[in-house]
Amino acid sequence: MGETVWVIIAVLVVLAVISTWGFLRLRRLTTSVGMFDCALRTPKSDGKPTDNWVQGLCEYQSDRLLWWRVYSLSVNANHIWMRDQFEVTGRVPLDQANLPDVYLVQCRHEGVPFELMMSAEAYHGLSSWVESAPPSAGGYNNY
């Protein structure tokens, strides 16, 4: 066989391995208990929110909330928010933006604001998770 054929085979094998890895990662994330769909918008350096939303998945753990980017090959969570420093500062239903049963949730972690967009069910789960923290953890402002 010619050198070109081997290069094509090598490229196809690499693409197959990367595709399989991405599929297995996403499958593991979506079948885990405590996962929910959640888009993230982080602030710019001037503190104003960006226009870009990044699709992801959040995972509840006892002392932290993990956020995973959906389209990534990373084995690590992209953001980790510790429960005792996590605050829900507000929520806005997006019914008027033709997104029924979707909430824009304003949050803060270690004083840094960010926004999450999630379903109503996911918001109720998040607020319950924050409220059920030990009293010393704080984090919820009745929104």
HEC profile for the chain? CCHHHHHHHHHHHHHHHHHHHHHHHHHHHHCCCCEEEEEEECECCCCCECCCCEEEEEEECCCEEEEEECCCCCCCCCEEEEHHHEEEEEEEECHHHCCCCEEEEEEEECCEEEEEEEEHHHHHHHHHHHHCCCHHHCCECCC
pTM of the model: 0.75
Confidence at residue 74, expressed as pLDDT on a 0 to 100 scale = 81
Confidence at residue 19, expressed as pLDDT on a 0 to 100 scale = 86
Confidence at residue 67, expressed as pLDDT on a 0 to 100 scale = 94
Sketch the domain layout of the chain as residue ranges.
Answer: 1-31, 34-137
Confidence at residue 143, expressed as pLDDT on a 0 to 100 scale = 46
Which architecture characterizes domain 34-137 according to CATH? Roll (2.30)
Per-residue pLDDT of the chain (143 residues; tens, 9 = 90+): 688 888 999 999 999 988 888 787 777 777 777 789 999 998 877 767 678 899 999 999 889 999 999 888 787 889 999 998 999 999 999 988 888 999 999 999 998 999 999 999 999 999 999 988 666 555 555 44
